[in-house]
Amino acid sequence: MTDVALDPYSCDGHDGLVDETGKILNDETIEILKKQALTQARAGADFIGPSDMMDGRVGAIRTALDSQGFSDVGIISYTAKYSSAYYGPFRTALDSAPRENSKKIIPDNKSTYQMDPANSKEALIESALDQYEGADILMVKPGISYLDIVYRLSTFSNKPIAAYNVSGEYSMVKSAAMKNWINEKDIVLETLLSFKRAGAKLILTYHACDASQWLRDT
Helix (H, G, I), strand (E, B) or coil at 77: strand
Exposed, middle or buried: residue 106 (CB in 10 Å: 0-12, 13-18, 19+)?
buried
Going by C-alpha positions, the residue among 170, 4, 152 that lies closest to residue 78 is 4
User: For 100, phi and psi rounded to 5 degrees?
Assistant: -80, 150
Whether omega for the bond prior to residue 160 falls within 30 degrees of 0, making it cis, is no
Rg of the chain's alpha carbons, rounded to an integer? 18
Report the alpha-carbon distance of residue 89 to residue 10 in Å, rounded.
Answer: 18
* Residue 81 among the catalytic residues: yes
Dihedral sign for Cα 19, 36, 161, 135, please. Answer: positive
The CA–CA distances, whole Å, from 73 to 29, 188, 191, 216 equal: 21, 31, 30, 30
- Catalytic residue, candidates 81, 103, 179, 196: 81
Residue 206 belongs to what H/E stretch?
none
- Catalytic residue, candidates 141, 179, 185, 196: 141
Report the alpha-carbon distance of residue 192 to residue 163 in Å, rounded.
Answer: 9
Q: Active-site positions?
A: 81, 141
